Every structure is written in C-alpha cells, then in structure tokens.
Amino acid sequence: MQDGIPKYVIVLHCCTSISVPINLLAIFCIFTQSSISMKKYKWYLLNVQIWIFLTDLILFVLIAPRFYFPLIAGTMHGFFFHVGVPYEVQTIIGFGTGVGMLSACIQAIQYRHSQIVPPNSMLARNSKMRTTLNGVRYFLFCQVSVPAVLTEPVNQFEAKLRVAGKYPFIPDFFFDPTVYLLQESPFFVFVPGSLVLSYVFLELSFYILQSFCQLSKRVSHMSERTKKLQRKYFVCICVQVLVPCFFCMFPIGFLCFAIVSGYHVQFWNDMAVLMFGLHGTFATLVMLPLYQPYRKFCKSLICCEFRPFSKIHSLVVVHLLS
C-alpha cells in the first residue's frame, strides 16, 4: 500500500516549478498578444487558462492530495492542511476547481459554436436556450461534491473499522487521524462524477458536431473569409481542449476501474494524480503554438528578441495617429 512514487509530496511540489511559469506565460500572451480579430474570444481563452492555473496550484501546492483508491480515502499534504483548513472544505475546493476548469473549457467551445451557427439559432449569442444550458451546467457542477461531503462518516474511526472488514489490503496507517475517509462506499463519489463527465461529453459532442456540420455547408450565412477564420479558431479550441482530455483518460479511467473492481496499486494512484495535474500544463503547451500571435511571441523569446509590450505600444501609436 505504501509502495507509491518515492518522495511523492516533493514530486508534486516540483511539478509546480514547471506549471507556474508556463501558465503565467500563457496568461501574459493571451492578455497582451491577442490579435484584434479574436475580440471577446480572448477572454474565454483567458478564463480557461486561469482555471487551469488554479487547478494546478490546488493540486500541487494548496491541497497536494494522495489517494488510496479503491478506498474513498486519502491524505492531504498541502498548504491548506498545514494551516488547518478542514478536510471537508478542501474536498469542496478540490472538486470545485476541477469542475470550474471543465466549465471554462465548455464555455470557450460554446462561444465559438455561437459564432458559427446562424443568428436566428436557438443557441446563438445571448439566446435564452444558451442561458438555460449554462444554468443547468452550473447547478450540476456545483452539486458534484455536496452528496459526498454531506454524508461523510461522522465517526471516522468506526467507519474505518467497517471499511477494514471489506478490503484485505488495509494499511496500518489507515487508522491515522491524518487519513481522511470521505465515504465508506463509492456511490456518492462515483455516481455524481459519472453524471458530470457524461454531461460534459454530450454537450461538447453536440457543439463540435454541429459546428463542423455548419462549417461544411456550401450555402451559409457567413462569407468564405469569415468561415475560414471561424474554422481556424474552432479547430484550435477543439485541439486545445480535446488533446488534454485524451491525456486525462488514463488517470480518470484507472480511478474508475479501481473503484469498481477493488483493484489497488499505490504507484498507479500516485501516477493518476500526477498525470491529471500535468494535463493543464500539457494543454498550455498545445495552446501556445496554435495561435499565431502567441507563437510569434514565444519564438521571439527563444530568439532573445524580448519585447513584451511591443504589441501594446504599437496599438497605442496607431490609435494616436488615427
């Protein structure tokens, strides 16, 4: 049970030294280097990037969890633990940042979808249907950790004794007060999590398929130039969101398999956390080369032609001359 990744907590903290500078670079690029043609789209990209950054900080620094699946239990080694933040609050924050990042990704693709469909569509910009879908999503996502937290065992020691009778691999340190047992059975974790992931899959699939169908039509409400620009941005956001999703398929798939089957190998539990945490950094590394302004800026850094505010200065000069 204890044979996980050596120096696991140190490895988590070291990942911060990779994710923080990359995420800050991406936030800087989006904020200062976005082209005029991106318009409001850059704010959706910025929203995604900020949530990715927050998720990385929560996972690697503030909470730094270690899970013991298939037991719905774990330890927390981050800053919040050392300052005495209750486990329940840390659980809500952890789940909250995860679904917040998912929601930001959906919003970015939803925005691109609303730019592609005809103006009279039910899902066009500022439509009531789009507002309703957002409300349903926010409500569903906000509830993801509530059932588990509200029904957590009141007496941790007695609950651990009951759990110990179900699994043959219970370690000695399982009864340590620092080990937090969220649930005796996986029902209130597995079912809400499955519902959220299913909803995300269905909504993203709908936006992506309908958008590509609309862009493939010969007769369209958009000019060919606009259609080409919309296709470029939509492909970029799909790659930016879907490639990291495939990167997360192993950790999420393994955790589900472990919960359902009762399978336990601590090394893979630790690897699942690391892979899920690094998927945000991977998403950022995918995003930066996709968009020409960010690609050019990163190239200037590599070529030692660092002019971070040249774009802003040039826009100011053009505005003054006009």
Portion of the chain with pLDDT greater than 70, in percent: 90
Report DSSP state, residue 119: T
DSSP result, 188-199: HHHHHHHHHHHH
Q: Pull the structure tokens for residue 256.
A: 């589900």
Q: Has residue 226 got a pLDDT over 60?
A: yes
Structural domain contains residue 5 = no
Q: Facing residues of 66 across strands?
A: 75
Question: Per mean pLDDT, which range of 151-165, 173-187, 189-203, 212-226 is the poorest?
Answer: 212-226
Q: Facing residues of 75 across strands?
A: 66
**Mean pLDDT value of segment 166-192:** 85
Q: Facing residues of 76 across strands?
A: 65
Q: What is the pLDDT of residue 213?
A: 84
Q: What is the pLDDT of residue 313?
A: 46
Neighbours of 286 (CB within 10 A): 17
In angstroms, rounded to a whole number, what is the distance separating the alpha carbons of residues 170 and 179? 12
Q: Pull the structure tokens for residue 123.
A: 């899902």
Domain interval for residue 145: 10-314
Question: Per mean pLDDT, which range of 19-28, 29-38, 234-243, 299-308 is the poorest?
Answer: 299-308
pLDDT tens, residue by residue, 65-106: 999 988 899 999 999 999 999 999 999 999 888 888 888 888
In angstroms, rounded to a whole number, what is the distance separating the alpha carbons of residues 64 and 254? 19
In angstroms, rounded to a whole number, what is the distance separating the alpha carbons of residues 279 and 120? 37
pLDDT tens, residue by residue, 35-76: 887 888 889 889 989 998 999 899 999 999 999 988 899 999
* Contact call for residues 294 and 105 (beta carbons, < 8 A): no
Q: What is the pLDDT of residue 127?
A: 65
Structural domain contains residue 226 = yes
Q: Pull the structure tokens for residue 191.
A: 């079912």
Stronger pLDDT, 181 or 263, i.e. the higher one:
181
Report DSSP state, residue 58: I
Structural domain contains residue 194 = yes
Measured between alpha carbons, how far is residue 319 from residues 30, 37, 307 in Å? 21, 16, 20
Structural domain contains residue 322 = no
**Mean pLDDT value of segment 180-197:** 88
Q: What domain count does the chain have?
A: 1
* Contact call for residues 297 and 33 (beta carbons, < 8 A): yes
For 172, the enclosing helix (H) or strand (E) is: none
DSSP result, 261-277: H----HHHHHHHHHHHH
pLDDT tens, residue by residue, 2-16: 578 888 989 998 888
pLDDT tens, residue by residue, 112-159: 888 887 777 776 666 677 778 778 888 888 888 888 888 999 899 999
**Mean pLDDT value of segment 273-294:** 87
- Tokens 């971070």 identify what position? 308
- Tokens 């997360």 identify what position? 248
Phi, psi of 59 (to 5 degrees): -75, -40
Structural domain contains residue 305 = yes
Q: What is the pTM of this model?
A: 0.83
Measured between alpha carbons, how far is residue 124 from residues 27, 30, 51, 78, 111 in Å? 28, 25, 25, 43, 9
**Mean pLDDT value of segment 13-22:** 89
* Contact call for residues 297 and 28 (beta carbons, < 8 A): no
Stronger pLDDT, 209 or 317, i.e. the higher one:
209
* Contact call for residues 13 and 78 (beta carbons, < 8 A): no
Structural domain contains residue 2 = no
**Mean pLDDT value of segment 226-246:** 80
Q: What is the pLDDT of residue 312?
A: 46
pLDDT tens, residue by residue, 288-313: 888 888 888 888 887 765 555 555 44
Structural domain contains residue 1 = no
Q: Tell me the residue type at 23.
A: N
**Mean pLDDT value of segment 30-35:** 88
pLDDT band at 317 (very low <50, low <70, confident <90, very high): very low
In angstroms, rounded to a whole number, what is the distance separating the alpha carbons of residues 264 and 23? 33
Q: Pull the structure tokens for residue 201.
A: 């899959």
Q: Has residue 207 got a pLDDT over 80?
A: yes
Stronger pLDDT, 216 or 305, i.e. the higher one:
216
Portion of the chain with pLDDT greater than 90, in percent: 20
Domain of 126, CATH number, reads 1.20.1070.10
Q: What is the pLDDT of residue 98?
A: 85
Structural domain contains residue 320 = no
Task: Name the nearest CA neighbour of 116 among 30, 241, 209, 244.
Answer: 209
